[in-house]
Structure 1
Amino acid sequence: MCNDYRLMVELASVIEVFEHLRIKIRFPEGRPNIEAREDIRITDTAPIVRTVEGERGVGELVQRRWSWPGPSKKPVYNFRSEGREFSSNRALILCDGFFEFTDPIEKGKKRKDKWLFRKVGEPLFAIAGIWRATDKVGEAFTMLTMEPGPDIAPYHDRQIVILERDAWTDWLDPTVSAKSLIRPLPAGSLSVEQVG
């Protein structure tokens, strides 16, 4: 499952996308300094836009840790979406690409092959996530997962939930059914290239 993603988009461009979608962004902790990052890994801090309870069309942009400690102390960085509604603490995880790893194609190669997936025609997209407050690490987020769509299935048996832009406002509104928003993208929505 996805354990590495990237965000190379500047804050001004992020804000512009949300303005275009008529989603008002608040900065309750001040405007963060979002650096371009080729690799955001489990336990790293990264930007998310989270629900503002009771206000539709509004989100808070904050930086939080990716993953919280699970019952076995392993990090919870992916979370199955099937059968759940997520009626609170929803978040949009901002990225411009994510990575999946497969067994090497080349015989004798020891490291896994690394594949970069990007959304065709969109330099910024959002992964459906949830966040929670924990005693051990404070507030942290995780990515929701689902059965793979046609672009991911050749590489992995699960995938993260990628939301179409017209679903972002609804995802930030926990009164809208999560099940109505979680679905695979049509074939050809994601480009893929081998990067390692």
Structure 2
Amino acid sequence: MCNLYNLRASREEVNRYFSAPNDPRSVVQMDKDYVAPGKPGLVVREQEGARITSTMLWGFPFNGKPVTNVRNYTSLFWKSALLNPERRCLVPVTEFQEWSVAPIPQTGRKRPYWFRVPSEPIFAFAGIWRPTEGDPVFSFLTCGYDGDPSAHIVGAVHPKACPVVLHPEDYDRWLKADLDDALSLAVTFPSQLMAMS
């Protein structure tokens, strides 16, 4: 489960990369170059046929805690946002973190690993968002692995699930397609296009 990611790009760089100007009603601001649960992050969404960049809080509220990762696509908790293309978004990322499953023998502590897409200085998770009584919130999709998780660069570290990283040519499809077509994009990103540190 991914609970930390970086966005080491300015808002202007994100706007240019996604061809998405600022949302004038977006009042929450990012104050760091990383995003943690319950904290502000940028999302790119469609409004009236055009992309805009908004700031929202990461995690749909549930029992007082933010739920950051969408795993069960048929759950009623997520279904209304997934069904409505206007509630889908792109979550800009420069790298994301997963913790090792097993502790390091010498220290007994788990190790953080960072994953990026070297060919894309900024990439995007498939996300969904929801208005709330306060600030709007977002979460992003995760998926399982085809075959042995250890054969995938992320699965070798975190075998349960991987964030859904979209190819740039699929951004519009995620934002506009019907549910079945959009969910067909919920697959693991190719290992050979990723790097780990």
TM-score above 0.5: yes
Instruction: Tell me if 1:4 matches 2:4.
Output: yes
Structure with higher helix content: 2
* 1:153/1:66 CA distance change after superposition, 3 Å: same
Alpha-carbon deviations, 1:8-61, whole Å to 9, x = none? 112332233224xxxxx2323279876661x311011011111225x2xx2121
Give 1:186 deviation, angstroms.
Answer: 1.9
One-letter amino acid of the structure 1 residue matched with residue 143 of structure 2: M
Give 1:180 deviation, angstroms.
Answer: 2.6
Q: 1:86 aligns with which of 68, 82, 89?
A: 82
Give 1:162 deviation, angstroms.
Answer: 0.5
Secondary structure in 2 matching 1:99: strand
Give 1:110 deviation, angstroms.
Answer: 4.0
Instruction: Tell me if 1:182 matches 2:186.
Output: yes
Q: 2:64 aligns with which of 54, 67, 73?
A: 73
Give 1:7 deviation, angstroms.
Answer: 0.6
Aligned-pair Cα RMSD in Å: 2.5
Q: 2:42 aligns with which of 37, 44, 47?
A: 47
Give 1:184 deviation, angstroms.
Answer: 1.7
* 1:81/1:124 CA distance change after superposition, 3 Å: farther
Partner of 1:15: 15
Moved more, 27-36 or 111-120: 27-36
* 1:52/1:178 CA distance change after superposition, 3 Å: same
Q: Percent identity?
A: 26
Secondary structure in 2 matching 1:8: coil
Q: Please give the TM-score of this superposition, normalised by the length of structure 1.
A: 0.81
**Mind listing any 5+ residue stretches in structure 1 that lack a counterpart?**
20-24
**Mind listing any 5+ residue stretches in structure 2 that lack a counterpart?**
147-151
Alpha-carbon deviations, 1:78-106, whole Å to 9, x = none? 11154569222001111100000114553
Partner of 1:147: 144
Structure with higher strand content: 1
Check the 8 A contact 1:68/1:134 in 2, yes or no. no
One-letter amino acid of the structure 2 residue matched with residue 46 of structure 1: G
List aligned pairs for 1:119-134, cutoff 5 A.
119-134=117-132
Secondary structure in 2 matching 1:26: coil
* 1:105/1:111 CA distance change after superposition, 3 Å: closer
* 1:141/1:81 CA distance change after superposition, 3 Å: same
* 1:179/1:31 CA distance change after superposition, 3 Å: closer
> Aligned equivalents of 2:118 and 2:73: distance in 1?
26
Number of equivalences: 182
Check the 8 A contact 1:93/1:127 in 2, yes or no. yes
> Aligned equivalents of 1:180 and 1:68: distance in 2?
23
